[in-house]
Chains A and B, each alone.
Chain A
Amino acid sequence: MAIGETIRNSQIWKSIFRHPMPLDRRNRIVVMLTNFFLHLHPVSIKKQGIALSFTWCMGGVTFFLFLVETVTGVLLMFYYRPTLEWAFNDILALRDVTSLGILRELHRWGAHAMVITTWLHMYRVFLTGSYKPPREFNWVVGVILLLLTLLLSFTGYLLPWDQLAIWAITVGSNMARATPFLGYEGPGQQLLTIGGIDMITDASDARFGLLGARFVGEETLNRFYVLHCIAIPLAVALLLAIHFWRVRKDGGISGPL
């Protein structure tokens, strides 16, 4: 006890934490206002708004899983090279050689779980009618986040570069080939010709834009890797910030008016 007291009274501790221990009512309020990580929350909240039977904690769990994916993802990037030569072998080594051999498992199962918890969060928000005014726009942000979650999972699916990976992505991205007007097997692309020359070919259509090639190959691996590790996570992080900020601005966790 005395050691704890000494640490909490030291200059270092006090320079880091701007508030005393939240042991009494006053300091429990102060901690919410002065801690960077906690200031996202209000100081006080309606009891029903935080009941687990009401929120299922699904939004929180989804965000936590996003953090798990970020941390395990960064660690995986240390071991993994997105090239045809190394991608599969690095994953193999990750399983057979590396210590902490469940890193990929944590990342993969965390990703599947995140898809599920995103759906469940949306389901809860729908069932409680929480998308209704004034929270319409935050629902829209949530739908975009749902789409980005699926895209994160989809781009990550390719990276192990095994049979499961490339054929799932091949089947999935074949859809883009049929995009109306913009896919070379899509309806209406025949109309986009200039002087008898087709504008939309298998080397210029929507699928080519997605894959960077006519089929799932090294360009695709590179493209999906960059999307998976940088572009989509950045977009998600930005939208998450807006999503959380709007929760507060729109009146906190929803409840009966």
Chain B
Amino acid sequence: MHNEFFLKDVAGFLGGYYTFIALVNGVAALILWRKQGRTGWAVTWAGFAVAMMILAAMAIQGSASMVPALPQGVRSLVNALSGPVLYTLGTTGLFILLFVFRKFFVQPMVAWTILNAMLLLMGLSMADENFAAIVMKPDNVPIVGLVFLLAFFTWLATKQAVVNDERAAQGLPPMEKVNDEKVLVWPDLVYTELICMVAVSALLLFWAIFLPAPLEEPASSVKTPNPSKAPWYFLGLQEMLVYFDPWYAGVVLPSLVIFGLMAMPYLDFNKEGNGYYSIANRKFAYLSYQFGFFVLWITLIILGTFLRGPNWNFFGPFEFWTPYKVEVLNNVDLNQMFWVNLMNRPLPRAPQDAGALTQVGTILLREAPGLLALGAYLVLLPPLMAVTVFRSYFAKMGFIRYMIMANLMLLMLTLPIKMILRWTFNLKYIVSIPELSLNF
């Protein structure tokens, strides 16, 4: 059977992978036992290490049926449940959960448990042919690395921020202030830099030796691959094409991201949290950045890379990427919803021989619902927010800075809003003026 060959191929990798997890947990157990005297946790991770060794043995013993994998039922369930809606809501929910309960999640043993769970799930999933086919594509490997690196560094930063926030609440300076004695750059910094260089070189050499760079068939402008994907770091943008036309998803939004990032230091008037990890005293800036970075950039890249297959259809993590999957697209424009469905009349249309002014007027009338909604969103909301939720911000920022901040925020939120409208009402375009290729 096809699957059997695959499992024999992947068995060696999995054997090494589980052995690695076992080793890391063995070391962790040793440190906890000898250095920290936390025997209970030490026994737990030693036990986990033994379990991983058993999984490693099962993976490499030669019989494909013994390779540890998620039960087929679980995989089918995950495939059946997953979709763009659940994925996006799930990652957003996870983001909120991690933020609200950050004091719980930063505890080393909680973080370690989560890391092990992630590694174990990854290993069990790798025994699935469809999952491995996508994840092991050479250019997709960096994204797996990115996920683990981001998780680790977010933990590291949040841990320090939680400590600093607690200290601030007690009126103490941040930890960074406590250690502000001066040291000589030689040797303290130059040696650190040297060690980092050696470590990065070693990692890069290891990576380069064990993972060949991809090289497909020679370029052919007549054979379009399905799916055709941009380089992985642009797949978040490509995913946005599901919800917006290219002029907005591919040109305007990326430009706004760059502009917004550049404008950030001039918009953030908060003097707290300069030069040390903290969250509590800069919640608005923190949450805005994290929402943009995690939910709207990183998770969309993961979605675009691992879960979008032929015809940009959504596929579950363990699903085969068949080009024959058909998804019904019955999206409707807002003008249709308003004039046809609600008012029960045809779309306004100018007579063939009408003058330019009549034509423009007809377009404006046809798109009135969308234009009014958009106008209210971009023109009415900023002043409305200035006198309500952002009252103190407006007072501190002044008119111009506040307007730039408010508009950047609102434009960023067009993406999640459009997503939700698509999922709930099958809304295609809010404003649709094909006469000017202007669809929004």
Contact = CB atoms under 8 A, between A and B. Distances in A.
A165 interface: yes
A133 B142 CA distance: 34
A248 to B, nearest CB: 12
Contacts of A130: 274-275
A163 B274 contact: no
B247 A183 contact: yes
Interface size class of B (residues with CB under 8 A): 35 or more
Interface string A111-138: 0110110011001101111111101100
Nearest to B192: A50
B189 interface: yes
A183 B213 CA distance: 34
Interface size class of A (residues with CB under 8 A): 35 or more
B200 A65 contact: yes
Contact of B265 (A43, A132, A163): A132
A132 B146 CA distance: 27
Contacts of B224: 167
With a 10 A CB-CB cut-off, give which of B142, B215, B231, B289 has the most chain A CB atoms: B231
Given A129-B274, A164-B139, A168-B230, 17 more contacts: A28-B184, A31-B186, A47-B181, A54-B160, A57-B196, A129-B282, A139-B262, A163-B218, A163-B225, A168-B229, A172-B230, A187-B438, A189-B437, A254-B275, A255-B177, A256-B276, A257-B275
30 contacts: A22-B186, A44-B185, A45-B182, A45-B188, A46-B183, A47-B179, A48-B177, A48-B179, A105-B213, A106-B208, A108-B213, A109-B142, A112-B139, A115-B142, A123-B150, A129-B278, A139-B262, A143-B258, A144-B262, A160-B215, A162-B214, A164-B215, A167-B228, A176-B251, A178-B246, A178-B250, A187-B438, A190-B435, A190-B436, A257-B275
Interface of A: 22, 25, 28-29, 31-32, 38, 41-48, 50-54, 56-57, 60-61, 64-65, 68, 88, 91-92, 95, 102, 104-106, 108-110, 112-113, 115-116, 119-120, 123-124, 126-133, 135-136, 139-140, 143-144, 146-147, 150, 153-154, 157, 160-168, 170-172, 174-180, 183, 185-191, 215-217, 254-257
Interface of B: 139, 142, 145-146, 149-150, 153, 156-157, 160-161, 173-190, 192-193, 196-197, 200-201, 204-205, 207-209, 211-221, 223-225, 228-234, 237-238, 245-247, 249-252, 258, 261-262, 264-266, 268, 270-278, 282, 289, 293, 433, 435-439
